Amino acid sequence: MKKILLLVSLISILTLSCVVFYVDDYISYGQANIFWGSKGDEVKTVQTKLKNWGYYNGSVDGVYGYKMYQSVKKFQKKNNLKQDGIVGNATKKALGIQAKKKATSRSDEIYLLSQAITGEARGEPYIGQVSVGAVILNRIKDSRFPHSIAGVVYQPGAFTAVDDGQINMKPTQSCIKAANDAINGWDPTGGAVYYWNPATATSKWIWRLKPIYKVGKHWFAKETY
What CATH number does residue 70 fall under?
A: 1.10.101.10
Residue 12 lies in a domain: yes
CATH number, domain with residue 154: 1.10.10.2520
Q: Alpha helix locations (H) across 98-190?
A: 106-121, 126-140, 149-153, 160-163, 173-183
Tens-place pLDDT, residues 65-106: 888 889 899 998 989 888 888 888 888 888 888 765 444 556
Name the domain count of the chain: 2
Task: Examine the domain organization and report whether 84 and 146 are in the same domain.
Answer: no
Does the pTM exceed 0.85? no
What pLDDT does 181 receive?
96
Q: Which residues contact 62 (CB under 8 A, 6 or more apart)?
A: 39, 40, 41, 43, 44, 47
Task: Examine the domain organization and report whether 208 and 111 are in the same domain.
Answer: yes
Residue 78 lies in a domain: yes
Q: Is the separation of the CB atoms in 120 and 161 below 8 Å?
A: yes
Task: Examine the domain organization and report whether 90 and 112 are in the same domain.
Answer: no
Task: Examine the domain organization and report whether 88 and 194 are in the same domain.
Answer: no
Residue where one domain finishes, among candidates 95, 129, 154: 95
Tens-place pLDDT, residues 24-61: 333 333 346 888 778 888 888 999 989 888 999 999 99
Query: Domain of 189?
Result: 106-224
